[in-house]
Structures are given as structure tokens and as C-alpha cells.
Amino acid sequence: MKNYKVTISFLGTAYHGFQRQEGGLATVQGKLERAIYKLLGERVSVNGCSRTDAGVHANEFVINFFLDSPIDCRGIIYGLNGVLPADIAVKSAEEAPKSFHARYDCKGKEYVYLIHNSEIKSPFLADRMYRSWYPIDEKKLDRAAKAFIGEHDFKSFCAASCDKDITVRTIFDYSVCREGDVVKFTVSGDGFLYNMVRITVGTLLFINDGKLSEDSIPSIIAAKDRTLAGKTVPPQGLYLNRVFY
């Protein structure tokens, strides 16, 4: 039996997140496990590097699973791409040590959040970006975002339903830039709480809109109070962009 480390990408619009759920809801994990069974006749449990919320996408998402089949890595890539739905793609595959686990061996992640900042909507971006017509000052938000960098208790920036006892995380970098009508928020860290990225983006948008001051982030972090931070922006603009091992 071999352990395979596989990198995929997916459009999350049609799925209730990555992780398999009760009640037959469509998930990326469920689609992968069914595709492996269809291709090889083996029932496997796919481990993912992250759970992801409903509607969230991934440019790079790492999974691992064990196979008895003699199939090689090229066969995994092209075989699974032949049976997976169009919104999930296998990018690479390699044999990994039997001890490797996509989630527990992960050292960090990078997320990207995209906002279509235009007065004119685009029918092609509705499920792939959050749209905000109000002008965004990306330079101002880039300055404000630097306050997230470092090791902090991010209790103010996680959903009320977050079940983590320890809410301290380390943010490696946080930047905001503009590419035409698209404003791109890029954040990397050793781990993220439930809805943390979406709440930090929402907080920066509150700063942009004048609802919070540009220097307010340190005091919000110190307060450990979710009600002081900004809104939770919608999931369709969020992408898991890179995974670090």
C-alpha cells in the first residue's frame, strides 16, 4: 500500500466545503472519493489540508490517500482528471512517506481574497469574486493590514461558532494590491481560525469605508471581542492559494 500526496484545484461554488458531510451534501472530498472508486475500484478516505467553507475555492489544495493499486502518479493525474467533474482538477501527484498527512504536516497556508471593485457587474465573476462598487483605497488598506503580521490572539477575528480553545496564530505576511478592477488581499500564516480571513478582509473594508480608523486593528486584536471587528465578507472571493510543508 502506497501513500500519495496529490495537489488539486477546485471551484467551490457547487460544494458545501471540502469535508464530507452528513445528509448527502455535495463536497469536494466526496467527489474525490467517488472518483477514485470509479477509476480503481478502491474505497479510500481522502485527507485534506483544510476544511474550507461552502463556496470557497482553491488554487492549490493538498490531499493524501493510500492505495493498493499499482497505478503510477501519471495514471492518478490523468485517470482522476478523466472522471472528476469539470470544477475539480488534479495538478500533480507524488508518492509520499507513509507517515505523511496532508493536514497534520501542513506548516502554513496562503489565502487570497478577490474583490471586483467596479460600478459595473460582470456575469463571469459573480461566483469567483466579491463585488464592491464603493471605491477601495488599496494603498491605505495595505498599510492597515500590516498590523495583522506577527503572533497575536485573533479571537476578535473568528466566528462566534469557532470551537478552538487556543486562538493565537502567526501571520507571516498580509498585503493588499490592485490589478485593474480587482483588489487582491493576500495573507499567509501558520494557521487560520474559522472565518478569520474573511473577517480580516471585512475589517479592512470597514476601514476603507470610514467605519473604523486606519490604526484600529491593534486595539481590536487586544480586545479579543468579535463585535469590534468588521463584517464577514462572502465566501466566493476566497481562495486557498498555497500550502506550505
Per-residue pLDDT reduced to its tens digit, 127-149: 999 999 999 999 999 999 999 99
Do 189 and 172 touch, CB atoms closer than 8 A? yes
* 26-61: pLDDT as tens digits: 999 999 999 999 999 999 999 999 989 999 999 999
Domain positions in the chain: 2-96, 108-244
Question: Does residue 67 contact residue 42 with C-beta atoms inside 8 Å?
Answer: yes
Q: Do domains 2-96 and 108-244 have the same CATH topology?
A: yes
Q: Quick check: 237 and 130 in contact, CB under 8 A? A: yes
Of 53, 127, 142, 181, the active-site residue reads 53
CB atoms within 10 A of CB 243: 21
**CATH no. for 108-244:** 3.30.70.660
Statement: residue 105 has pLDDT above 90: yes
Read off the pLDDT band of 204 (50, 70, 90).
very high
Q: Is the pTM of this model over 0.85?
A: yes
**72 catalytic per annotation:** no
Task: From 152, 130, 146, select the one nearest 202 (Cα to Cα).
Answer: 130
- Burial group, residue 104, by CB count within 10 angstroms (0-12, 13-18, 19+): exposed
Please check whether residue 13 is in contact with residue 87, taking contact to mean a CB–CB distance below 8 angstroms. yes
pLDDT band of 216, cuts 50, 70, 90: very high
Domain 2-96 adopts which CATH fold?
Answer: Alpha-Beta Plaits (3.30.70)
Arithmetic mean of pLDDT, 53-82: 97
